[in-house]
Amino acid sequence: MRLGRDFTNLLEYEYLSPEDREAFLAGKLTVSDMDATVQIKVKADIARQCQVAAETGLQHVELDGGIPNPYLSLTREDLRKARVAAEKHEITLSMHLPYTFVSAATCGFQEEDRRTAVDYLKRYLDVAAELGCRFTVMHPGQIPFYQAVGRYLEISNRALVATLTELGEHSDKKNMPLHMENNTFWDGRLYTADECLPIFEEVRRRGVNLKFCFDLAHEFTGFKTLAEIPETPEERYRIVPNDLYLGIQIGDFIPEGRLFHPPMHRLCGRLKREHLVRMFRIFREKGVQYVVIESAVREREDLIHAFELQAEEARFVRDVFNEAMAPQATLR
């Protein structure tokens, strides 16, 4: 089992110009403005992501294809250099495909829209293959809340099955399994594992090796308070059949304030150390091979000291992992 990270916004501060860094420190440049200013540059520097992952004791990097991203504009030489850098640092790669704007039409009612989204995402799959990615992850698309009911929902699910089948076949030819990740509560559909499993059954009946990147934190978005979340939320991973697992993301969510993916070592959400230890044991039973830490921060001080923050978080997750993998008799 390899531990890795999606860096989201954790490297952005170091890419600011001296002028923008001064403005950020003075509170004149917001976190969102910083994100808009350097996000493409950060994502394009795959070598730096691999270096930081290795320096913090991780073995895998998930490339964030959230919009905007640079991946379709990278040259073959850019991709070759990134692949060499990953190999140099002994880092394996995966890619999280875009899931907004054009990509949201993967489950749309209009075939022309769906076709555009499929062709668009195939280009990302080709880039991921050039980079030597072990797998990719996509969301199941979005439809307006007022159409996420009844026959509209049935039509959308059929469109999604068609999309996953085509993209999955494209990925299988490249020996790079495609994952579907569950949505959030606000996407209006397919945010719980129970909702998603019938989609997997249908796609896999068509001979596609589709995997499930089950995001437990996305299920948490259906709760209004931390107190409502079950006492042993990690048990939810057991309902997914073993053959649907390969790569998984871990993160937390705090309903109060809608705080997504707070740093895991701070234990400020529902997942405490004991939950995480049991979670990794379930992953071992299920045959999970890649675990991606998915944290993002919004506080200025956290972003200024992001390297130290992610190093501490990675150390915490490695310690939890080692405890979970140790023989039962030696556990404290």
DSSP of 199-224? HHHHHHHTT---EEE--HHHHHTT-S
Q: How many domains are there within the chain?
A: 1
3-state secondary structure of 52: helix
- 300 contacts 26 by C-beta, under 8 angstroms: no
**What's the confidence (pLDDT) of residue 14?**
97
229: in domain: yes
**What's the confidence (pLDDT) of residue 221?**
97
Residues facing 60 on adjacent strands = 4, 92
146: in domain: yes
**What's the confidence (pLDDT) of residue 325?**
97
125: in domain: yes
Euclidean distance between CA atoms 311 and 53, whole angstroms: 9
66: in domain: yes
**What's the confidence (pLDDT) of residue 188?**
86
330: in domain: no
**What's the confidence (pLDDT) of residue 223?**
97
Domain coverage including residue 257:
2-325
Q: Which residues contact 293 (CB under 8 A, 6 or more apart)?
A: 3, 4, 5, 6, 58, 249, 250, 251, 264, 313, 314, 317
pTM for the structure as a whole: 0.96
Q: Which CATH number do you get for residue 227? A: 3.20.20.150
> Which amino acid is residue 187, in one-letter code?
D
Residue reference for tokens 């190093």: 311
331: in domain: no
Locate 220 and state its tokens.
């948490």
3-state secondary structure of 142: coil
How do the pLDDT tens digits run along the chain, 332 residues long? 999 999 999 999 999 999 999 999 999 999 999 999 999 999 999 999 999 999 999 999 999 999 999 999 999 999 999 999 999 999 999 999 999 999 999 999 999 999 999 999 999 999 999 999 999 999 999 999 999 999 999 999 999 999 999 999 999 999 999 999 999 999 989 999 999 999 999 999 999 999 999 999 999 999 999 999 999 999 999 999 999 999 999 999 999 999 999 999 999 999 999 999 999 999 999 999 999 999 989 999 999 999 999 999 999 999 999 999 998 644 43
**What's the confidence (pLDDT) of residue 94?**
99
Residue 331's nearest CA partner among 288, 274, 279 is: 274
- The DSSP-derived string for 86-125 is HHHTT-EEEEEPP-SGGGGGGG-SSHHHHHHHHHHHHHHH
**What's the confidence (pLDDT) of residue 330?**
44
**What's the confidence (pLDDT) of residue 331?**
40
Locate 181 and state its tokens.
């990740």
